[in-house]
Structure 1
Amino acid sequence: MSKTSFVLHDTVSIYKQMLNVSVEGQTEMFRYKLMKPFEAMWKTIGVPLKATAENGYDVIMASQMLGLWTPSSSDLSALKEEVRKLEQIHANHLSERVLEEVVQEFSKIGYNLPLEEIHYALLIGNSMSDEMQLVQGCSGFAGIPGYIQIYICPNDATLPRLPHVIAHEFNHQVRFCYEPFRYGDISVGEYIVIEGLAESFAVHMYGEERIGPWVTHLVGDELAYSARVIRDSLHVKGFSEVRSYLFGDDLADKMGYQKVGLSSYAGYAVGYHLVQAYLKKTGRSIMEATLTPANQIIAESCFFE
């Protein structure tokens, strides 16, 4: 298959245009310039581009729930400064460079994505939202093959992490092409491996110093405790149940799932250390591991023994 092409949407320019229009104009631009290129992605996860009823569930409400900046009557000075910071680091060119680098890394093992194109967008987060604060201002979504969204609250702490987060999300694209995400049948074991692979690939590409807060916050006894809880629940299936072990108790009330006594993003941290154990035990590369069944990674890591 021919090489996958990236469609990089110039979101920085769109945000810049939003600074000069009314709230109504911002809403139209947000919906039809920022989000419409991702309409197929949103549709796959049950989010309409526009609600049938006023103030109904659509891409704007879903974006708010993700912790993204959305149009409102609030002062735009913060958005203006964040746009300036993205321009200052040449965010579009940086994104393009990183995507080229991660593709090249997988080509070293002879792997090419079975996708014609991937749509990519860098979206500004709402720094006051719980969601962005929990991830210290930088995260993303790449759960649907063909689409990558990066969420960032641009500042001196998050901007250096941008390549790391892009690499993390790109790894999801590779993994979900190899082993498609099964919403109703995904297990805790499979999901922690998914996140562990993504973070391990990002570390491989751009170093441990930019590792995500979803890993660094969990150490020592708390990490060991989380590993025990997750070990006993590896078989639990279904995204609604699995979320409890991936995201932890802090988001349970807001996202509507059961608390199981775990810290925020415990599954991410446990998954990372599991994959690191697998790589050390087997001597395989993270690229090879990304194309390996989850049950094999868990068994050969000996992490839970």
Structure 2
Amino acid sequence: GSDVRGLVCEAFDQIAAALPGPPTTVWVLAGDPDDEFTTGLAGGVNGTTAGSGKIWLHLVPLAGWVDRIPAAMAHEHHHSVWLGRHYEGKECQALLNYLIMEGEACMFAGILYPTGPQPWTQALTCDQEQEAWERMKPDLGATSHEVMAAFMFGGVDGLPPFCGYTIGYHIIEAYLRQNPDAEVEGWTAMDANALLVQSGYDGLVDI
């Protein structure tokens, strides 16, 4: 309804001020109430970036769902900007690029909306994270959709879903600990390998 439209427009103005991007159309769509991710971890708000300047929000009215819209939009806007500026026609190129892209989007959303739940950034215990990272490292250059999807969404034996999101987020977190004055425009543009090296991340973030 009009209330959701107003919230989307207001949030987008805030988000675009923090990270200017392309002219953008946001489609607000009815979500699938039978989709486990939308009604589970996503809390009724499932965002998709269909290309630079194209964001889909799939909504299922659940408790607290409206409060999740701004952070979901920030996440997708970061993807939209990244696709517009840094996409090289190779999708995410490799697993490491995918980790970094999702980690950056989660970090951007968290900076703007620190109370917005992002449970996929907390999918691992410390022991699980160390194990997941050791198992990922040989495949960081993998371009197989199957390999990337397994680490990002689930399918690796013994590892929980979304471990790639958690590790990607922790790589960015580690980078920002090492580079506290870095700005979003700068780290969004960084090469994934350089960012990983400069983060010092190796399976754990020192608190």
Superposition TM-score tier, normalisation by shorter sequence: 0.7 to 0.9
Contact 2:71 2:110 (C-alpha < 8 Å) held by counterparts: yes
Return the offset for 1:261: 4.0
Partners in 2 of 1:285 and 1:98 — Cα distance?
Answer: 20
User: Could you tell me which of 174, 179, 183 is aligned with 1:277?
Assistant: 174
* Structure 2 residue aligned with 1:219: 125
Offset of residue 142 of structure 1: 0.9
Q: For residues 286 and 219 of structure 1, do their structure 2 counterparts lie closer, same or farther at Cα, with a shift above 3 Å needed?
A: farther
List runs of 5+ in structure 2 lacking aligned partners: none
Instruction: Give the whole-Å Cα distance in 1 for the aligned partners of 2:148 and 2:110.
Output: 25
CA distance in 1, matches of 2:154, 2:183: 29
Q: Distance in 2 between matches of 1:147 and 1:300?
A: 32
Please give the alpha-carbon distance, in whole angstroms, between the structure 2 residues aligned to 1:219 and 1:147. 34
Distance 1:143 1:225, change over 3 A: farther
Of residues 135, 159, 163, the one that matches 2:70 is: 163
Q: Distance in 1 between matches of 2:199 and 2:91?
A: 26
Contact 1:279 1:286 in 2 (8 A): no
CA apart distance, 1:135? 3.3
The equivalent of 1:63 in structure 2 is none
Q: What SS does the corresponding residue of 1:171 show, helix, strand or coil?
A: helix
Q: Secondary structure at the match of 1:127?
A: coil
Give TM-score scaled by structure 2 length.
0.87
Is the CA contact 1:204–1:286 (under 8 Å) kept in the aligned structure 2? no
Where does structure 1 lack aligned partners over 5 or more consecutive residues? 1-11, 13-86, 107-111, 250-258
1:291 Cα deviation from its structure 2 partner: 1.7
SS across alignment from 1:232: helix
The DSSP-based 3-state class of the residue aligned with 2:26 is strand
Cα gap change, 1:185 to 1:177, in 2 (>3 Å): closer
Q: Deviations over 1:170-204 (max 9, x none)?
A: 00011112221645672110000000000000011
Q: Write the distance in 1 (CA, Å) between the matches of 2:120 and 2:92.
A: 24
Question: How far apart, in 2, do the equivalents of 1:218 and 1:170 lie?
Answer: 26
Q: Which runs of 4+ in 1 moved over 6 A?
A: none
Preserved contact between residue 139 and residue 150 of structure 1 (Cα < 8 Å): yes
Q: How does 1:138-153 map to 2 (within 5 A)?
A: 138-153=45-60
Which structure's relative contact order is higher, taking Cα pairs within 8 Å and 6+ residues apart?
2
Q: Secondary structure at the match of 2:15?
A: helix
CA distance in 2, matches of 1:210, 1:230: 28
SS in 2 for 1:276: helix
SS of residue matched to 2:149? helix
Query: Displacement, 1:148?
Result: 0.4
Which residue in the other structure is 2:194 paired with? 296
Q: Distance in 2 between matches of 1:194 and 1:154?
A: 28
Q: Percent identity?
A: 22
**Residue identity matched to 1:236:** A
Structure 1 residues 105 and 181, CA gap change in structure 2 (3 angstroms): same
Which of 63, 73, 81 is equivalent to 1:174? 81
Q: Which moved more, 1:169-178 or 1:282-291?
A: 282-291
Q: What's the Cα RMSD here?
A: 2.1
Contact 1:143–1:172 under 8 Å retained in 2: no
Larger radius of gyration: 1
**Normalised by the size of structure 1, how large is the TM-score?**
0.61
Classify 1:178/1:300 alpha carbon distance in 2 versus 1 (closer, same or farther; 3 Å).
Answer: same
Q: Which residue of 2 aligns with 1:95?
A: 8
- For 1:140 and 1:159, locate their aligned partners in 2 and report how far apart those are by CA, in whole Å: 13
